[in-house]
């Protein structure tokens, strides 16, 4: 396992491994439809700008994706990507040598 891949996985896990970001993930997990930032603000007790920044980090790591809809952004959890990465890692953990 080369350093770049280790770093990439670490970044992914670190992105979800923060309380407010994980709260956002769970919030989106319970939503059938994409949500805008204002709505997502309800789940963590911080400024909207903070939520915006957290969503940016989650988006960079492929944990959420979004569509621009007018002046709003509709965020959704990238369930497939997140689940796949977690399971791949779990398999490695149990499979290696």
Partner DNA sequence: TATTTATTTGCATTTATGTGCAACAATGAA
Partner DNA sequence: TTCATTGTTGCACATAAATGCAAATAAATA
Chain-centroid distance of CA 97 in Å reads 31
State which of residues 49, 52, 60, 91 lies at the interface with a second copy (CB under 8 A): 91
**60 contacts a second copy (rule: CB under 8 A):** no
Cβ contacts of 43 within 8 Å, gap of 6 or more: 23, 24, 26, 27
Provide the minimum distance between the beta carbon of 82 and DNA in the complex, in angstroms, as a whole number. 17
Q: Cα separation of 42 and 31, whole Å?
A: 13
Residues that bind a second copy (CB under 8 A): 1, 6-7, 9-19, 22-23, 25-26, 29-32, 77, 79-80, 82-84, 86-87, 89-94, 96-97
């Amino acid at each position: 396992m080369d350093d770049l891949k280790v770093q990439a996985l670490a970044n992914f896990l670190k992105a979800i491994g923060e309380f407010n970001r994980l709260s956002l993930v769970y919030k989106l997990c319970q939503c059938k439809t994409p949500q805008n930032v204002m709505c997502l603000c309800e789940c963590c007790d911080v400024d909207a700008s903070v939520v915006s920044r957290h969503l940016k980090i989650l988006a960079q790591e492929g944990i959420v994706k979004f569509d621009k809809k007018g002046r709003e952004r509709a965020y959704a959890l990238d369930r497939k990507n997140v689940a796949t990465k977690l399971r791949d890692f779990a398999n490695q953990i149990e499979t290696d040598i």
